[in-house]
Structures are given as structure tokens and as C-alpha cells.
Amino acid sequence: MIFVDADACPVKTEAEQIATRHGVKIAFVSNGGLRPSANPLVEMVYVDHGPDVADMWIAERAGPGDVVVTSDIPLAARCVEAGARVVKPDGEALTAANIGTVLATRDLMTDLRAADPFRQGGGRAFSKADRGRFRDGLERALRAAAAG
């Protein structure tokens, strides 16, 4: 099963295409506002509004053999700990080997932003190359999850 943290996910279309090609069920989990899919492999899961409700829903269900698509690092850490494969929308795999460093970096950056309220700017724009890396990353994660 593929679980997609769907509220701000820029690769929902790519994830559905790959899931369909592999014949794997996919759940788009969100607080609402997503258009339903006619694809029988797609489950639209609408959770209550509130902080981290979608994350909690995914974390309670993801485990060995599953793939989670998210850019939420704390959610990724919970899913990795549960044995799921995790892929960020830019294709980066989050694993037991790197999740500690990624989580520490996230926490450091949060602290730095909080210490400098005048710090402006966001991340770079999501690119075609990011979409390609995501496709490759999700393909690798699905093959690895299927292999056990």
C-alpha cells in the first residue's frame, strides 16, 4: 500500500500513475479539498481538521511492505521506525540510516528560523527534475517493499 500525505503534496498525479502501473492500492490522506479519483486502486481518506491529524492516521497504519510519500520529517521518522519505506516528493529516500540526521537538521533549521524573525524566503520552486527523481524514488521504494 502507498500512503500519501496529500494536503500539500506536489506529486499526487505521479504517485497515482506509478501505483496503477504496479497494481498497488494508494491512499491519499488529507483534511479535504481533494477531488476524488475514479481509479479503483485509489482511496481518498478525509480526516478531521486539526494539527497532524492526517499524519497520525498514516503513522497508525503504515508498516513493513508499505510506502509513505511525505515531506513531513516527524511523520517520516515514525513511519521508518514502523518499518515502512518513505520517499519525499523530491525522490529522496528516508531510511533508518539517514532519518536521524534529517530530523536533527529539521530541528536545527526550525530553531534558526525562530531565532531570526526577519529571516525571509522559502524553498526553491518544485521542478520537472524533482518530479523525475520522485518517480525514480517511488519505483525503487515499491520494488524494495515488494522484495521484503
Decide if 26 is inside a domain.
Answer: yes
Decide if 98 is inside a domain.
Answer: yes
Residue type, 52: D
Decide if 103 is inside a domain.
Answer: yes
Decide if 127 is inside a domain.
Answer: no
User: In the numeric block, which cell numbers belong to residue 106?
Assistant: 529539521
The predicted model gives 61-77 an average pLDDT of: 95
Residue 43 sits in which domain range? 2-121+134-147
pLDDT tens figures, 91-131: 999 999 988 777 776 666 666 667 776 666 566 788 899 99
Residue with the bigger pLDDT between 71 and 3: it is 3
Number of folded domains in the chain?
1
Decide if 75 is inside a domain.
Answer: yes
With a threshold of 0.95, does the pTM exceed it? no
Question: How far from chain centre, in Å, is Cα 132?
Answer: 16
Decide if 129 is inside a domain.
Answer: no
76: confidence class by pLDDT, cuts 50, 70, 90:
very high
Our CA dihedral for 14, 15, 17, 18, rounded to 10 degrees, sits at: 110
Contacts of residue 2, defined as CB under 8 A and 6 or more positions apart, other chains included, come to 15, 19, 24, 25, 26, 27, 66, 67, 68, 69, 138, 142
For residue 112, the domain's CATH number is 3.40.50
